[in-house]
Amino acid sequence: MNNEKILIVGGVAGGASTAARLRRLNEKAQIIMFEKGEYISFANCGLPYYIGGEIKEKEKLTLQTPESFKKRFNIDVRIFNEVISIDRNEKKVKVKNIKTNEIYEESYDKLVLSPGAEPFKPNIEGIDSNLVFTLRNIPDTYKIKDYIEKNNCKKAIVVGGGYIGIEMAENLYNLGLDVTVVEMQNQIIAPLDFDMACEVQRYMESKGIKLMLESSLKKVTQIENTLEATINEDKLTADILILAIGVRPESKIAKEAGLELNERGAIIVSDNMLTSDKDIYAVGDAVEIVDFVSKEKAIIPLAGPANKQGRIVADNICGIESKYTGTQGSAILKVFDMTVATTGINEKMAKKLNLNYDKIFTFSSNHASYYPNSENMSIKTIFEKETGKILGAQIVGFEGTDKRCDVLATAIRFGATAKDLTRLELCYAPPYSSAKDPVNMVGFAIENIINNKVRNFHWEDIEQLQQNKDIILLDTRTEKEYNNGHIKGFINIPLDELRENLDKIDKTKKVYITCQIGLRGYIGYRILAQNGYECYNLSGGYRLYNSIYNETKTDTNSACVNPK
């Protein structure tokens, strides 16, 4: 094992972490890392922030150089060298030196594939215009930034409302550009459910970003230094267009070598990251993984999992039993001052898998409400009905959002239930949290459901309830709150006056209660239930409902359309 020759294809997250771990475990191995580009171990996730000026120095984007990697780890790093084929029988690869066009061979004992994923480009007219850009690597980044600066760009179109698209939209806006985001689905940020995405969309629009949902790019026409993009039936002009509609595994050499791929072109690997060839491993965005929660096969391109997989491969090559236990999909996104975080499965996936799940919406202050500048965060939690086991969470908020999602991600990884959340002893001081942390509150709210202390209904039920004349719709907010906006059909009895007005509520009818965020509704529920009423509480309250259904809901280009 000590003198093995190990070749690594790809020098970014998965490849670089494999190489570094290999050397730490085996000082004698011959390790060669091939990278067809100029840079290794660069910060993919930081690229939009260099374009927007948040990261000002180019050097900050490269975590290692070929020279520093050689000096510290004694690894032969060959940039501008592309592995173009694999001969599995002879255990050799064919390599092309991109600068000289020289083609040569290297033998291997073990081969590690970390080719990553490439941006998807639709086959539409004009897509190859030099005003259309994709963002994958450092040269792409320099190209976009230089073009904007040299041409004094004023208007940009970003096609795709995923993580990269939203980050690009923010950073282009910060450069002073007028930005429109075009997204085919009825929401941005696919890992979020529709109801959580609406709050992000309203916030983006309030900042000046235009959103076109349920819209697709049909054609690009270049007119000198501007372009005309046909979006559905509309035509938009811009100085630059960024394509961010997703990526696909760059697995051509694996396919040509006869390695097993899935229907989407991802390399199939075992839990120790071994391909269908016993001497070839694969890691990163090009591989198929198992979703940790659903146990379904999936492709989830994230930097954290790629780095972990690289370490696992190195361990296995060096004789240390190590397995990858699945990708949880924990991810976080900065949207101006807002933070959007997700972990585990969303409701869309729970429905697709036909799970016996439930959901809860909670709104909690990021720190003690009496301490200055507290702000609510919106939390949606998916859980098993019978056990209260946490399956997924989505949080939209500001300061403190990241740490709450990290706690919930940890809970999911260790199979925690709602009861476990109630028992967590988390750090508290007024500037940082409340005595009952938002994560504790999630546990309490779910525990109340499981223990039959409350029965909920949800925003999507309201339209049908409004047609039912044999129920009572009750808003327990103050008269002032009610008059500032309420859900059609709900009568107002403020919570603090509820006990004195029970005679006004027909006990033969079911009562559906709302308040602002669900807390006063829960208290009202407990009052009514203990007085013999059959009742239900609106999870998330009027705040959630209004973030979905407001006065812009009939505008087809608005932030929230077609919620069903």
Catalytic positions are 45
Asked if residues 312 and 273 have their Cβ atoms less than 8 Å apart, the reply is: yes
Return contacts of 56-62, CB within 8 angstroms, 24+ apart: 58/138, 58/142, 61/138, 61/141, 62/138
φ and ψ of 534, to 5 deg: -90, 120
CA dist 5 to 28, 219, 234, 279, Å? Answer: 10, 49, 57, 11
Q: Of how many residues is the chain composed?
A: 564
CB 332 within 8 A of CB 302: no
Chain centroid to CA 103: how far?
40
What is the phi/psi pair of residue 195, to 5°? -65, -30
Determine contact, residues 117/134, Cβ cutoff 8 Å.
no
Q: Which of 528, 495, 523, 527 is nearest to 509 (CA)?
A: 528
- Three-class SS of residue 330? coil
As a whole number of angstroms, the distance between CA 303 and CA 300 comes to: 10
Tokens 């959002």 sit at which residue? Answer: 401
The answer to whether the CB of 202 falls within 8 A of the CB of 340 is no
Token duo for residue 45:
């996730």
d(CA 310, CA 269): 13
Burial (0-12, 13-18, 19+ Cβ within 10 Å), 175: middle
Q: Which of 245, 296, 288 is nearest to 122 (CA)?
A: 245
Q: What is the spatial distance between Cα 480 and Cα 474, in angstroms, rounded to a whole number? A: 15
Q: How many CB atoms lie within 10 A of CB 172?
A: 26
**8 A C-beta contact, residue 10 and residue 34:** yes
Query: Strand, coil or helix: what is 462?
Result: helix
Sheet hosting strand 178-182, strand order edge to edge: 132-134, 240-243, 155-159, 178-182, 210-212
Cα–Cα distance measured from residue 36 to residue 11, given in angstroms and rounded to the nearest whole number: 9
